[in-house]
């Protein structure tokens, strides 16, 4: 049985060449592949700097720590995060000794609803952390406007979105910092990996220091003490083993950068295939709109479709539907339940009920793959599998009046 996976890996000839070249040069620590990857990624996301580290979570953690240092936040200051996201988004707030304050989401885009931010602001609010979920940029203008008016910083979690533009500008270029992931099953896969983008040289340097144990910026690469004469060499020797802030060990290697760079070189094809697949799947699933909410793309916004999100309408038993798909080889995941996670229920008891839109999406939402490895025949198979479920299960659950009886389908 063919599996319709959530993600996809197809390392190119160029990728293999780059990895072998890194090995031939006996070079694993930051070198030319990391530097090139960072430079091109930054350019494509209209940022001056990109800092490559070992995961999207690490990127978020050091980006928030850099903001914390720059703006002198205190323990317990508040960071506004959507109530529907992958758990890492809000974990890193807690891990920075700050307090996540959750925001209601838009039931059509699944991203945070900008009109619901103001009601959650307090004198301790410091950062808005919008998450561009599934490949779709958030509605950034009202977020940026509010942040400006209230003196807040914006940090974008773009782990699920690359190359997409909102009103002509790419994700990762709106906030003081943006964070991305190159983990398996993301848009651009390098193995493990993450990036922080910023236009601010000082913030980039703080991030580089934070990912290397908090090291003095005079020595953040092993090449920094090469071919340097006195008196700089004397300075470097004196300071290169200085640690000036509490840091982490979040460096990646040239091997991940080499693969990621080879993928970056073919990004237009990657994104075009995702958009084509998503458009075809949307057309094929249109007949089932009474049972499924399909992705919606707001005007002036591009979607990169890391994944294809769906929401089962209220009369549909999501668990039974997902089991039907899984049994036929179609991989599924829930649409990022957060406040209902066992650990979050413990940390924030009872909070989920304050966010009915997020709660409904967490209960009825799910996603499937839409990556470039899928062919037309796969997408037709997906549509046929949904059709089969609605035809058989719902027909047997339809009572004499022709209306669906939820109880009968359970
Ligand atoms: C929204 C979001 N933020 C952060 C992350 C963390 O990225 P990583 O897995 O590279 O640590 C993910 C990863 O799946 C994500 O989906």
Q: Is the CB of 190 under 6 A from ligand 1?
A: no
Can you tell me the mean pLDDT for 312-329? 98
Domain at 267-409, CATH class: alpha beta
Q: Which atom of ligand 1 is nearest to the CA of 182?
A: 10
Residue 20 sits at the vertex; the CA angle it makes with 14 and 24, to the nearest 5 degrees, is 140
User: How far apart are the CA of 158 and the centre of ligand 1, in A?
Assistant: 8
Domain chopping of the chain, boundaries:
13-264, 267-409
Can you tell me the mean pLDDT for 327-333? 98
Nearest CA to ligand 1 atom 10: 56
User: How far apart are the CA of 407 and the centre of ligand 1, in A?
Assistant: 37
- What tens digit of pLDDT does each residue of 2-25 get? 899 999 999 999 999 999 999 999
- What tens digit of pLDDT does each residue of 154-212 get? 999 999 999 999 999 999 999 999 999 999 999 999 999 999 999 999 999 999 999 99
Q: What's the pLDDT at 407? A: 37
User: How far apart are the CA of 159 and the centre of ligand 1, in A?
Assistant: 5
Can you tell me the mean pLDDT for 103-127? 98
Among candidate residues 303, 324, 305, the one with its CA nearest the CA of residue 394: 324
Is domain 13-264 in CATH 3.40.50.720, yes or no? no
Band (231; pLDDT cuts 50, 70, 90): confident
CA-CA distance, 85 to 95, in Å (whole number)?
A: 17
83 neighbors 338 (Cβ within 8 angstroms): yes
Q: Which atom of ligand 1 is nearest to the CA of 133?
A: 1
Band (400; pLDDT cuts 50, 70, 90): very low
Band (408; pLDDT cuts 50, 70, 90): very low
Q: What's the pLDDT at 398? A: 56
Q: Which atom of ligand 1 is nearest to the CA of 58?
A: 11
Averaged pLDDT of the chain: 95
- What tens digit of pLDDT does each residue of 241-297 get? 999 999 999 999 999 999 999 999 999 999 999 999 999 999 999 999 999 999 999
Band (218; pLDDT cuts 50, 70, 90): confident
End-to-end CA gap in the chain: 28
Task: Please name the residues in contact with 392: beta carbons below 8 A apart, sequence gap of 6 or more.
Answer: none
Among candidate residues 146, 157, 198, 125, the one with its CA nearest the CA of residue 60: 157
């Amino acid at each position: 049985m063919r599996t319709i996976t959530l993600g996809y890996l197809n390392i190119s000839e160029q990728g293999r060449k780059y990895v072998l070249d890194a090995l031939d040069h006996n070079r694993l620590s930051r070198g030319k592949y990391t530097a090139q990857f960072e430079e091109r990624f930054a350019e494509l996301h209209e940022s001056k700097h990109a800092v490559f580290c070992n995961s999207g979570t690490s990127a978020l953690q050091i980006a928030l720590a850099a903001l914390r240092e720059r703006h002198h936040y205190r323990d317990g200051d508040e960071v506004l995060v959507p109530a529907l996201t992958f758990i890492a988004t809000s974990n890193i707030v807690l891990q920075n000794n700050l307090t996540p304050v959750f925001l209601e989401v838009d039931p059509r885009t699944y991203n945070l609803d900008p009109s619901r931010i103001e009601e959650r602001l307090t004198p301790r609010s410091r950062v808005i952390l919008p998450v561009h979920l599934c490949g779709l940029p958030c509605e950034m203008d009202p977020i940026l406007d509010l942040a400006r008016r209230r003196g807040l910083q914006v940090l974008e979690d773009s782990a699920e979105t690359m190359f997409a533009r909102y009103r002509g500008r790419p994700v990762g270029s709106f906030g003081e910092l943006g964070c991305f992931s190159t983990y398996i099953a993301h848009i651009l896969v390098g193995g493990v990996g993450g990036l922080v983008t910023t236009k601010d040289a000082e913030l980039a340097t703080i991030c580089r220091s934070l990912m290397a144990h908090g090291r003095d910026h005079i020595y953040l690469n092993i090449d920094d003490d090469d071919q340097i004469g006195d008196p700089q060499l004397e300075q470097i020797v004196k300071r290169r083993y200085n640690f000036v802030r509490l840091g982490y060990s979040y460096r990646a290697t040239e091997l991940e950068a080499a693969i990621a760079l080879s993928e970056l070189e073919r990004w237009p094809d990657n994104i075009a295939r995702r958009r084509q697949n998503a458009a075809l799947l949307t057309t094929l699933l249109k007949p089932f709109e009474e049972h499924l909410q399909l992705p919606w793309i707001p005007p002036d916004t591009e979607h990169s479709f890391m994944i294809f999100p769906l929401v089962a309408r209220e009369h549909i038993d999501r668990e039974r539907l997902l089991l039907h798909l899984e049994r036929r080889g179609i991989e599924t995941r829930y649409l990022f339940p957060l406040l209902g996670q066992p650990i979050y229920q413990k940390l924030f008891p009872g909070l989920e009920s304050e966010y009915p839109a997020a709660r409904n999406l967490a209960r009825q939402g799910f996603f499937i793959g839409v990556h470039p490895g899928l062919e037309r025949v796969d997408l037709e198979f997906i549509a046929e599998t949904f059709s089969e479920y609605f035809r058989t299960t719902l027909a047997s659950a339809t009572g004499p009046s022709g209306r669906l009886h939820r109880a009968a389908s359970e």
